[in-house]
A = this chain, B = another copy of it.
Amino acid sequence: MYELLTGLSIIEASSFVASPTAGLYCAQLGAEVIRVDHKAGGLDYDRYMLTAEGRSLSWENLNRAKKSVALDLQSGEGRELLVALAASAGNLITNLPEQSFLSHGAVAEKCPDLVSVRIMGWHDGRQAMDFTVNAASGYPQMTGPEDWDAADPPPVNQVLPAWDFITGAYCAFALLAGIRHRDRTGEGKELRVPLGDVALGTMANSGAMAEMLYRGGNRERLGNAIWGAFGRDFRSRDGKRFMVAALTLKQWSGLVAAFGIAREIAALEAEIGVCFADGDTPRFANRERLFLLFQQAADELDWLELEARLTAQACTYERYRTMHEAATDPVLVADNPLFGPSPANPSGFSYPAPRSFANIPDEARGDPRPAPYLGEHTEQVLSEWLGLSSGQIAALVDRGIARLSDRGA
């Protein structure tokens, strides 16, 4: 683990995906991230996939390298302890509602220079999740086979909870921005990040909102074709599906050479009077004709031959894998320094675990760390951060206000 954020302690009161992701990224770069949960586990404690013993593989991956404190967050005393911890650390990531006991104001009373990042649903306070903001964004209506049920085109949801993950990364960024501001001015900040705004704002930042307003209507559904450039999935003679993309001249020339269709391309250029090397526009405008030529060439070649040619031309391509194939692909996982040896996961199941996405050349990455057991660090954190004695902590445990660990539970 890199120690870029050493010295930084963050209280995370989280559930589901976006908020734990923000803490995860900070923990993987060396921050002390203390996730505080209700003693029976947060709302995501049982999130699928569950092992036969009932351990959530989702939870143990999104909470890797963190500490865990378990308190009775339905009791006033447990809530006061969480507020006190957030005030002591001075940094808070949460998706609890602003109207909850963990409002910025409640913590800032004890810690005026608190920096908090709060993930919300919609900007106006309505509830939202990745699935619902996605429905509002318009992307599902543009996703999926172009010829599928054209009379009444149904939405196609993306399976990746992309809005959650963008929000998580953005919140980790926003937290560091707030902390940098405090370092320079002494002033705390509350930063609120609505999931719905991340979705609409991303749509706008990509240019797609301006595009819709400029068109005065919707973009056509394109299946797996890249909009505004040359690219699509093709299938080799032996049935392997793969994606190719050409947004630059180099990528385009490489593809034409790899597919061995220079003559056919030249003939098509002569026929319709364009030069495909000129840029995205001729390639995109005539994509149907081009797709035909590329697929005809692919029909004559097995994947191994095609792959060798695509590699030789340094093309931008990739074979589609199922997720199980991806997870067991040596190039992607076993031989990829992103992944390290399996840590002692609470589930007891062993598998390669990812390190931080960022790598620093010539610096040891260290091994991935496991997620904690729920409450594994309750005693340590209450002692170190709130100065509670062993006796005081034992009394909290006896009264059900604090819980030490769900190991073996």
A202 to B25, CA, bound (A): 11
Stretch at the interface among A82-90, A222-230, A260-268, A375-383: A222-230
Does A219 sit within 8 A of B, measured CB to CB? Answer: yes
Question: Is A324 a contact partner of B212 (Cβ separation < 8 A)?
Answer: yes
Contact with A338, one of B57, B127, B201, B241 (Cβ below 8 angstroms): B201
B48:A214 contact, CB within 8 angstroms: no
**In the complex the two chains form, is B241's CB within 8 Å of A49's CB?**
no
Q: Does the CB pair A320–B135 fall under 8 Å?
A: yes
Complex partner residue of A233 from B48, B157, B216, B314, CB under 8 angstroms: B157
Q: Say which size band chain A's interface belongs to.
A: 35 or more
Which parts of A131-145 form the interface with B (CB within 8 Å)? 131-145
Interface residue A326 (Cβ < 8 Å from any Cβ of B): yes
Contacts A209-B351, A228-B47; is A338 near B197 (CB within 8 Å)? yes
Contact of A210 among B61, B200, B247 (CB under 8 A): B61
Quick check: A49 and B155 within 8 Å, CB to CB?
A: no
A25 to B194, CA, bound (A): 15
Q: Which residues of B contact A314 (CB under 8 A)?
A: 127
Q: Mark A115-128, 1 if CB is under 8 A from B, else 0.
A: 00100010110011
Min C-beta distance of A384 to chain B, whole Å: 21
Q: Cβ of A300 < 8 Å from any Cβ of B?
A: no
- Roughly how many angstroms separate A45 CA and B224 CA in the complex, as a whole number? 23
Do A332 and B136 touch across chains, with their CB atoms under 8 A apart? yes
Alpha-carbon separation in the docked complex, A159 to B326 (Å): 21
Set of chain B residues within 8 Å of A204, measured between Cβ atoms: 61, 339, 352-354
- Asked if A233 contacts B135 (CB within 8 A), the reply is yes
- Of A176-184, A269-277, A289-297, A400-408, which stretch is located at the interface? A176-184
Question: Which of chain B's residues have a CB closer than 8 A to the CB of A233?
Answer: 135, 154-155, 157
A358 touches B160 (CB 8 A): no
A74 to B96, CA, bound (A): 51
B159 and A200 contact, CB distance less than 8 A: no
A80 close to chain B: CB less than 8 A: no
Is A49 in contact with B326, judged by CB distance below 8 angstroms?
no
Query: Which of A141, A169, A323 neighbours the largest number of chain B CB atoms within 10 Å of its CB?
Result: A323
A253 at the interface (CB under 8 A from B): no
Interface assignment of A150: CB less than 8 Å from any CB of chain B: no
A-B residue pairs in contact (CB < 8 Å), sample of 16: A43-B248, A47-B207, A51-B214, A57-B214, A129-B316, A136-B320, A138-B324, A143-B156, A143-B159, A161-B206, A166-B169, A179-B180, A201-B357, A212-B327, A213-B324, A213-B327
Q: A57-B210, A137-B321, A157-B223 are in contact. List 6 more A-B contacts (CB 8 A).
A: A137-B326, A154-B224, A200-B326, A200-B354, A201-B357, A203-B327
Give the 9 A-B residue pairs with the shortest CB-CB distance, closest first: A48-B228, A138-B323, A58-B207, A169-B169, A162-B162, A132-B318, A176-B176, A49-B211, A135-B243
